[in-house]
């Protein structure tokens, strides 16, 4: 009987530990408190912030508590993945005291970005999805592209692809609830 009681106590302790660390993780990754207004992802002992605004894609190396770090002595690169399936690796350039920028005009249209920073002998890497990136499709051949205009395959006008909303909306008069 004592063994069962010890097991229950151990399981309860583990559950409390997991719950508190999950709450701490959720609190640490509250992107509304990102130092530069972007999206923050964990990157080993560091965090990385990606910010796409004003026609620019900027990236920031943050410490373990998601606070800004100086960019001196830090190097970085980003692998940009685009809607049309192409990828491009771009070296990041230091900007101000704590930021890095791309000099690629197409950088803000990425669908995914894999950012890597090197700090001394440590490497920090994080992946970001760009929810602001617009993609365009061809209604004729089904191709996906990252710029509006005409389809390079068939010449049809490209149509902006709408992003899917998570969850659902109830219309007025709907009386069913989940």
- 117-165 pLDDT, tens digit per residue, is 999 999 999 999 987 656 778 888 888 777 788 888 899 888 887 654 4
Gap between the Cα atoms of 92 and 81, Å rounded: 16
Per residue in 37-96, pLDDT tens? 999 999 999 999 999 888 889 999 999 999 999 999 999 999 999 988 899 999 999 999
Query: Looking at the structure, do residues 41 and 116 belong to the same domain, yes or no?
Result: yes
- Picking from 151, 154, 93, 117, the residue whose alpha carbon sits closest to that of residue 41 is 117
Query: Looking at the structure, do residues 67 and 125 belong to the same domain, yes or no?
Result: yes
Query: Looking at the structure, do residues 98 and 145 belong to the same domain, yes or no?
Result: no
**Is there a domain that residue 148 lies in?**
yes
Query: In sequence order, what are the residues at sequence separation of 6 or more whose Cβ sits closer than 8 angstroms to the Cβ of residue 168?
Result: none
Q: Are 62 and 68 in contact (CB under 8 A)?
A: yes
Query: Looking at the structure, do residues 77 and 149 belong to the same domain, yes or no?
Result: no
Q: How many CA atoms lie within 13 A of 74 on its CB side?
A: 30
Segments forming the whole domain that contains residue 156: 133-163
Q: What is the DSSP letter of 153?
A: T
Query: Looking at the structure, do residues 152 and 111 belong to the same domain, yes or no?
Result: no
**Is there a domain that residue 143 lies in?**
yes
Report the number of distinct structural domains present in the chain. Answer: 2
**Is there a domain that residue 10 lies in?**
no
């Amino acid at each position: 009987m004592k063994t069962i009681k010890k097991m229950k106590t151990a399981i309860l302790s583990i559950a409390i530990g997991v719950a508190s660390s999950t709450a701490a993780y959720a609190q640490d990754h509250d992107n509304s408190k990102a130092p530069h207004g972007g999206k923050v992802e964990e990157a080993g002992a560091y965090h990385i912030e990606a910010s796409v605004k004003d026609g620019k894609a900027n990236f920031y190396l943050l410490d373990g508590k998601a606070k800004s770090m100086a960019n001196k002595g830090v190097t970085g690169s980003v692998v940009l993945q685009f809607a049309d399936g192409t990828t491009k690796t771009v070296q990041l350039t230091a900007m101000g005291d704590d930021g890095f920028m791309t000099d690629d005009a197409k950088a803000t249209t990425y669908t995914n970005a894999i950012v890597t920073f090197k700090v001394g002998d440590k490497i920090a890497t994080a992946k970001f999805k760009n929810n602001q990136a617009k993609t365009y499709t061809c209604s004729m051949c089904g191709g996906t592209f990252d710029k509006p205009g005409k389809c390079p395959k068939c010449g049809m006008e490209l149509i902006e692809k709408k992003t899917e909303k998570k969850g659902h909306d109830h219309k007025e008069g709907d009386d069913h609830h989940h």
